[in-house]
Amino acid sequence: MRNVRWMIVVLLLAAGNLPATSLAAAAIRLELSNDVILSSDNQFTNGTSLIVTSGDANSLEDTKGTPAFGKRLVSWGIPDKPGLTYRESWVFGQNMQTPAEIEKRELITNDVPYGGFLGWGNSFYGFDDKRFFGAQWLIGWVGEQALAEQSQKAVHAVLGGNDPAGWDNQLDFEPVLNGYLGAKRRIYWHPWFDVALAGDLAVGNFFTFVQPGLEFRFGDRPTGFHIVPDPIGRGMDYDAKSLVAGGSHLYASVTLRATYFAWVMAREGNLLVDNEWTDTNSIRMNRTVGQAIIGLHWEGQRFGAHLSLWLSTETVDDFNLPTSEDPRNSFGSFMAEYRF
């Protein structure tokens, strides 16, 4: 463990010149999301992300410690307010989706396409126990260069699942550029219960949406806001909580969202290049989708763990779907974090 810790320290120092006095507030988090917990293997099926978060700063200008880019471009979306804690986070990850009938080799046009995404993002945000303001850039690509086929086949070979045979029909290579804005406001607080209003906006060729929501926490909560398990590209990555020295926290969360999707590559296909599935598919996506995300969180001084279940309403109309396809897009998520 000591060698791993020092490897992480060296990485952060080299990438962002993080002062040694700030290391105690930095964190690294691994996020794993999969739909196997719901006995499913269609639409979003797997996501893996590594998130590194900087130490605390008193202003956005002073945040450092991750391989940051574009801070000045997003600073207009993050107000400079006294009393806020400012951080930046870096994320690298992959996610993928498949149609339900993964054993078929031929093109399936009445179900969602095969698609993989590989990308890198950088987020910047300020928060206290009542407010949160954040922004993020994301770059990456879809297509066979995202290596989703190799990842899924390797996992299925180990676990004994069906061989996903239709990856030759996946979405074609396309670079991805996305931006995100997020804000939260605590509207009620009780010693064992609180409620916050939340709003998110995404613009880009991967996702474009507006998303109001409510966030509930129950139990012994830390200061700030809980982590919502958005697979890379689906939302902003952040760590907006502060722990009491020498203590730990165990609490539950419920996040309710209503999302209007103006564009979703995973359900509409390639935007910038021609693609056979995109040109010939017969699915109808639902542009307004509801989600309920139920979480259980434990936060210790060094380690934290988060289990979440993401439940959605129907993301596609089932008028022409294969009988094996679930028109909803639900999955489970596990996150483990280490602070140093």
Nearest alpha-carbon partner for 46 in 107, 141, 117, 108: 117
Match 């259980």 to its residue by tokens. Answer: 296
The residues with which 202 forms a beta bridge, in sequence order, are 180, 209
pLDDT at residue 25, rounded to an integer: 61
pLDDT of residue 6 exceeding 90, the answer is no
Match 């004994």 to its residue by tokens. Answer: 160
pLDDT at residue 19, rounded to an integer: 35
pLDDT at residue 64, rounded to an integer: 82
C-alpha span between 5 and 13 (Å, rounded): 12
Q: What SS3 state is found at 284?
A: coil
Residue 7 host element (H or E): helix 2-16
What domains appear along the chain, each with residue ranges and CATH number? Answer: 2-339 (2.40.128.140)
Q: How many Cβ atoms are within 10 Å of 19's Cβ, its own excluded?
A: 11
The contacts of residue 4 (CB under 8 Å, 6+ apart) are: none
Name the amino acid, one letter, at 195.
V
C-alpha span between 10 and 38 (Å, rounded): 39
pLDDT at residue 225, rounded to an integer: 98
Q: What are the tens digits of pLDDT across the range 58-71? A: 998 898 877 777 78
Nearest alpha-carbon partner for 42 in 334, 320, 315, 333: 315
Q: Tell me the pLDDT of the chain averaged across its residues.
A: 89
C-alpha span between 39 and 324 (Å, rounded): 12
- CB burial of residue 5 (10 Å; 0-12, 13-18, 19+): middle
Q: Which of 15-24, 78-87, 267-276 is least confident?
A: 15-24
| Radius of gyration (C-alpha) of the chain in whole angstroms | 20
pLDDT at residue 24, rounded to an integer: 40
pLDDT at residue 40, rounded to an integer: 73
Name the amino acid, one letter, at 301.
Q
- The confidence band for 39, taking pLDDT boundaries of 50, 70 and 90, is confident
Q: How many Cβ atoms are within 10 Å of 321's Cβ, its own excluded?
A: 21
pLDDT at residue 251, rounded to an integer: 98
pLDDT at residue 74, rounded to an integer: 80
Highest mean pLDDT among 14-23, 95-104, 185-194: 185-194
pLDDT at residue 12, rounded to an integer: 41
pLDDT at residue 162, rounded to an integer: 81
Q: What are the tens digits of pLDDT across the range 120-146? A: 999 999 999 999 999 999 999 999 999
| Rounded alpha-carbon distances, angstroms, from residue 126 to 56, 84, 225, 303 | 10, 6, 11, 23
pLDDT at residue 18, rounded to an integer: 35
Contact 277, 162 (CB under 8 A): no
